[in-house]
Structure 1
Amino acid sequence: MRFTQRLMVSDVVLPKAWLMVLALGLFVQLTGLLFNSDGSRYATQTYLLLFVPALVLFLWQRLSLHTWSQVPGVFFLCLLAWVLLSGLLNPGSSNGAVYWLKIALLILLYVFAVACLVRHKRAFTWLLVAVTATAVVFAWLTLYYQFGVLDKPVSYRALRYARLHELGWRGLADLKNPIIAGLYYGVFAVLLTYLLVGFKVRAWQAALLVMGMSGLLAYILFTASRGAWFATAAGGLATLLLFPNVKSRTLIGLGCLMVVVVASLFWPEIQYEQRRGVSGRDLIWGNWADRLPEFWLMGAGAGADLIFNFPNSSLGFLHAHSLYLQLWYEYGIVGFSLFVLLLLSLLWKGWQCRAEPLARLGLALLVLAMVAMVSDVYAIFHRPSPYWVLFWFPVGILLGVSRRDGRECLEPSVQEKPENDSLTLT
C-alpha cells in the first residue's frame, strides 16, 4: 500500500497569515479548557478562531481532495457518512440529522485544520511547544494549589478517593472527571517526550523538559486513573521506541528502574489495585455481550445510551466503558468495522512514513488513544472536548503527514535512515 502526496503548490505553501490563524485556533482548542471556566465561552472561542477560518480555507482549497484521496482519508469519510446515516435513519439516535451533520462537519474541519498545519513542520512544531508548555504550567499550578495552598494530604488512601481533576481556583483547568484529566494530560506527556527525544536540545532545555515531565506525570499519577496510567505509559514507550537514540534508550532504562523501585515501595497498594480489578467494567461488558443480538448489525442509534444498573444498587451507567464496544453498540458492525479499518490504515500509513518525525509522533499518540479506548472514553462523535485532543488530533497528524518533496513515503531502508529533526529548540 502506497500513500502518495498529490498536492498542488497552493496546497503545500500557506501564507504566514493563514499559518498564524490555524495555529491560534488549534492552540485555543487544545488548551482552551485550561483557561476557561465556562464551557460556552470555550465553544465560542473555538468556533470563531478555528472552525470559521478552517471552513474558509477548506472551501478555498476546493474541499482539500488530496487529503481524503488517501486510504485513511477514504475510511475517515466513510465513517462520518455512516454516522450521518445512523443519525438520519436509525430511530434510536439521540438527536436528529441536523445535529449529526453539524458534528460530522466540525470533526471534518478539525482534522483538516490539523492536517494542513502538519504540512508546515516548523509552524506545527512551535504549536506543539506552546501547547505543551501551557499544559505543564497548569499541571504544576494544580499541584501547587492542591497540595501547597489547600494542603491536601498526599497519602494513597486520600488520593484514591479525592482524585485530581481541577486546579481548584476560579474554575480554571476543571476537566470534570479524573479519568478525562489523566488522559488529557497524558497527550501532553507524549508530546513532551517527543520534544525531548526527537530534537537536539541543550542541557538547560533538557532540564526544563524533564521538570515539565515531572509535573505532568505527577498530575496523571494523582488522578488515580489506571486507564490514564497505562495509556500514557504505552504512548510514551511507543515514542521512545520510534525515536531510537541515546536519550530514548537512557529513558527506557531509567523507566524500567523506576518501575522496579515503585513496585517494591508500593507493593501493598499495587495488590489493592489488582484486587479492584476493572472496577465493575466486567459486568458492564457482560451486559453488552448479552444484548449483542439486539444491535450487532445496525446499532442502537447514533449517540444512544447503553444503560446498565449494577445489581442491588442504585448506581448506573450510560455507556459501555469501552469506546470500541460503545461504537459497535451505537453504529453496528458496519460502523465498528469502518472505525477499525480507519485505525489500521492510519497505523499503516504512519509506519510507511516513519522516516518523518511527525509520522512517528502521530503513531505514538494513536497508540495512547487506542489503549485508552479499551476501558475509557465514552464518545468521540460529539462537540469539541478533551477526547478530541486524545483521538482526532493524532488522526489529523497522520492524515496530513507526507514527504515535503512530494515523493512517496517509503520504507526507511529504501528511502533514508530516520534521524532526529535538525530543527533545534532555541
Structure 2
Amino acid sequence: MAREALSAIKREGLMGVIQRYDMNPSLSRCWVWILAFGIFVQVAGELFNNDGSRHAVQMYICLFAPSLVLLIWQRFALYLWGNISGLIFFSMLLWVFFHGVMHPGSQGGGGYWFKVSLLICLYVFSVATLVRRTSKFNFFLLFLVAIVAFFAWWTIYYQFGVLDRKFEYNAMRFADRFSELGWNGLADFKHPVVAGLYFGVFAVVIIYLFVGSNINVFQGFFLALAAVGTFGYVMLSFTRGAWFATLAGIILLLILFPNRRSRYLICLVGLSLLVAPFVFWNELQYEMLRGVSGRDTIWRSWFERLPEFWLFGAGAGASFNYVFDYDSGEYPVWHAHNFYFQLWYEYGVFGFALFLLLAASLLVKGWQCRTLPLARLGLALMVYALVAMITDIDSVFTRPSPWWVVVWVPVGILLGIRQPEKQKSDTGYATVAR
C-alpha cells in the first residue's frame, strides 16, 4: 500500500494525489460528519458540561484537531479566504494577534493570542465547510434545535415544577431570571444575559426551519413545540438585548422568506406586538423606566476616556473598569456593556474598523446570495448578533464560549455560502468555487 502511494506521488505529484483523494465522495462525507460532531460538542457542550476544562479538552479532540488536519489537507482552504470577506477576516485576526503581542497593555502573551486566533479560524472554517453541504447542515440544525428545546422545556419544568419558583413578574424579574437549569450544574450559563442570547440564536433557527424548509405536519408540530419552549426561556431570562435581537432576526427572516407560513407568522408577530402593551402595560412601563440599566453612565465614561485610547486601544483583553457608587456600596463592572465600545477600547480604531468592515462585507455577500436559504439564515443571525452587541457581549476574541455561537456561527455561514451560479457538484471539497 505504501509502495502504491509512493508511485502515485511520483506519477501525479503530491498535490495531485491530495486532490484526487479530496474528491473521494465517501471520504468527503466522513469529514462532514466529523466536523458536524465537533461543532455539536462545542455548541451543545455549553448545555451538557458543568466543567469548563473538560469541555475544552473535548473541543480540542473532537473539533479543533480534525479541523486543523482538514485545513492543511485542503491546502489551507484558499478558496474560502480568497474573497473580500475572507481577507478582512484574516486581517482582523492578524491585528488581534499582533496587538496582543506588541501592545504593552495586552493581557496574555503571544502564545495565548496565537492560540485564540487559530481556534477562531478553525471554528469558522468548520462551520463554513459544513455549510457547503446544505441538506446535512439543515439536518444538523434540526438536531441541535431538538437538544436546545429539550433543555429549554426542562428548565421551565424544573424551575417552576420542582424548585417551585413563583410565576410572577416581580419574582422572576428580580430574583429568578433564567440562567441555569438548576440541577447538577447542567445548562448553567452563570448569567441571564449569556443564557438569553444563547437560546435566542436557536429561536431564530427554529423560525428558519419552519419557513425555509419543506416540513410535514409532525415536523411542524415539533418545531412549534420547540419554539414555545425556546421563546419562553428567552423571555424568562429577562435579557432585553436578547428580546430585541431575536425580534430583529425573526422579522428579517420572515421578510426574506415570502411564503404562506411567513405571512401567517408576520400576522402573529404583529398581533402580539399590538396586544402586548394592553396585557403587560405595568410591566412595560417599569422596563421603560429602567432604561438601559445604568449602561448610559458607563458609555458616558467611555466617551470621556476616548482620547486616551482611540488610536491603538488599551490592549487586547484589557478591562474597561467602571464603578457604580450606590448608597448600599460600590458595584464594579469590567467591560463597556457594548461590544463595539469594548472592541474599540481594546483594539483601537483599526480593530474596530476591521470588525465593521467584516460585518458589512458579510451582509453584502449574504444579500447577493439571498436566493439561497442558508444565506437568509446567515443574514438573520448576523443581524441578531449586531443588535445584541449594542447592549451585551463583552468579547469574542477569547477561548470558546457561548459568545462564539452568537457571533462566529453567522460569520462561518456567510463565509461558507457561494453564489448560486458558482456552485458545483457536491461530491467533494475540491469542487468549490475558485
TM-score after normalising by structure 2 = 0.90
Deviation at 1:403, TM superposition (A): 4.2
**Equivalence map 1:8-27=2 (5 Å):** 10=22, 15-27=28-40
How many residues are paired up?
Answer: 401
Higher mean displacement: 288-297 or 311-320: 311-320
2:372 to 356, 363, 366: 356
Q: Please tell me whether residue 377 in structure 1 is matched to residue 389 in structure 2.
A: no
Deviations 1:305-333 (A, max 9, x none): 00001235410110000000000000000
Deviation at 1:407, TM superposition (A): 5.3
Residues 114, 309 of structure 1: alpha-carbon distance in 2 compared, 3 angstrom cutoff: same
Show the counterpart of 2:16: none
Show the counterpart of 1:131: 144
Q: Which amino acid is 1:25 matched to?
A: G
Matched residue of 1:316: which SS? strand
In the aligned structure 1, how far is the partner of 2:189 from the partner of 2:353?
31
Deviation at 1:12, TM superposition (A): 10
Show the counterpart of 1:96: 109
Show the counterpart of 1:80: 93
Show the counterpart of 1:117: 130
Deviation at 1:123, TM superposition (A): 1.4
Q: Which amino acid is 1:370 matched to?
A: L
Deviation at 1:374, TM superposition (A): 0.4
In the aligned structure 2, how far is the partner of 1:53 from the partner of 1:323?
31
Deviations 1:149-182 (A, max 9, x none): 1111010000001210111111101111100000
Deviations 1:370-423 (A, max 9, x none): 000000000000011110000000000000001466259xxxxxxxxxxxxxxx
Show the counterpart of 1:402: 418
Residues 242, 289 of structure 1: alpha-carbon distance in 2 compared, 3 angstrom cutoff: same
In the aligned structure 2, how far is the partner of 1:11 from the partner of 1:244?
37
Matched residue of 1:375: which SS? coil
Show the counterpart of 1:53: 66
In the aligned structure 2, how far is the partner of 1:407 from the partner of 1:261?
45
Show the counterpart of 1:272: 286
| Residue ranges of structure 1 left out of the alignment (5+ in a row) | 1-7, 409-426
1:331 to 341, 347, 369: 347
Matched residue of 2:303: which SS? helix
Matched residue of 2:422: which SS? coil
Structure 1's consecutive aligned runs of 4 or more residues displaced over 3 angstroms after TM superposition are 8-14
Q: Please tell me whether residue 108 in structure 1 is matched to residue 121 in structure 2.
A: yes
Contact 1:11 1:61 in 2 (8 A): no
Identity %: 52
Q: Please tell me whether residue 391 in structure 1 is matched to residue 418 in structure 2.
A: no
Q: Which amino acid is 2:406 matched to?
A: L
Matched residue of 1:251: which SS? helix
In the aligned structure 2, how far is the partner of 1:12 from the partner of 1:199?
29
1:366 to 382, 385, 391: 382
Tell me which structure has the larger Cα radius of gyration. 2
Residues 215, 12 of structure 1: alpha-carbon distance in 2 compared, 3 angstrom cutoff: farther
**Equivalence map 1:258-297=2 (5 Å):** 258-297=272-311
Higher mean displacement: 331-340 or 308-317: 308-317
In the aligned structure 1, how far is the partner of 2:198 from the partner of 2:266?
23
Deviations 1:47-95 (A, max 9, x none): 1100000000000001111111111101100000100111111000011
Residues 200, 30 of structure 1: alpha-carbon distance in 2 compared, 3 angstrom cutoff: same
Deviations 1:93-136 (A, max 9, x none): 01111100000000000000111111111111111011111000
Matched residue of 2:330: which SS? coil
In the aligned structure 1, how far is the partner of 2:135 from the partner of 2:211?
17
Show the counterpart of 1:206: 220
In the aligned structure 1, how far is the partner of 2:408 from the partner of 2:36?
16
1:69 to 82, 92, 99: 82
Q: Which amino acid is 1:132 matched to?
A: V
Q: Which amino acid is 2:160 matched to?
A: F
| Residue ranges of structure 2 left out of the alignment (5+ in a row) | 1-18, 425-434
Q: Which amino acid is 2:235 matched to?
A: L
In the aligned structure 1, how far is the partner of 2:380 from the partner of 2:61?
30
In the aligned structure 2, how far is the partner of 1:146 from the partner of 1:40?
27
